[in-house]
Amino acid sequence: MVIGVGAAKEELRTIFERQGLDRRLHMIGTLDRKELVDACHAMDIFAFASKSETQGIVLIEAMAAGGPVVALDAPGAADVVEDGVNGRLLREEDPQAFADALASLASLSPTQRDRIKQAARRTAGRFSIQRSTEQLLDVYDRMCREEALERPIDPAPWGALLEQVKTEWELVANIAGAAAAALHSPQISTQP
């Protein structure tokens, strides 16, 4: 199942056709929030080969649904994926290593699979709205204490810092919202 759209769509389709696997390829395009949550719950493993996910949001969404992740070491992914704990984080772009990582997760025993799914959900929980808000308030509190200790204050750097905090808050809010949606959606049973 391929979620999203991109320039590699036709190339990916061609690769699957050459291997005789085109019947197993499902390109479902862009999904709304509920459909995305349902898709994440339907996955056994979330494969992510992009190096452009700067916030790790899609990885957190997959983990909130209990999906272990195989991802390339890149900004966002490196902040979320703990190699061997909640998925696999690959240091180099090597197709065989990526395939091996997918196969290793697919071959886990039920006990090992449960352990990695629980770790994935714990990781997603670190980005909950409540936790993210507490972290932001802690940063704000530390800034206020430092401001009181360092008078007089040059207002110029504080404007830049305020913009940085605002940007970080928006990123945290996006991640928290996505994780909350995935954590609070009903789980789809994969049992017959």
Tell me the DSSP string of 90-113: ESS--HHHHHHHHHHHHT--HHHH
The yes-or-no verdict on residue 151 having pLDDT over 70 is: no
Burial of 16 (0-12, 13-18, 19+ CB in 10 A): middle
The residue assigned the tokens 């699957």 is 16
Cis peptide before 152 (omega within 30 of 0): yes
CA distances (Å), 33 to each of 23, 146, 177, 182, in order?
Answer: 26, 40, 10, 9
Higher pLDDT, 160 or 27: 27
Strands 46-48 and 27-29: unpaired
Q: What is the pLDDT of residues 21-67, one digit of tens each?
A: 999 999 999 998 889 889 989 899 999 988 887 777 889 989 999 98
User: Tell me, what's the pLDDT at 189?
Assistant: 45
For 169, what's the count of Cα atoms within 13 Å in the CB-facing half-sphere?
Answer: 13
CATH class of 31-183: alpha beta
Q: Please state the pTM of the whole predicted model.
A: 0.68
Q: What is the pLDDT of residues 2-28, one digit of tens each?
A: 988 888 899 999 999 999 999 999 999
User: Tell me, what's the pLDDT at 105?
Assistant: 96
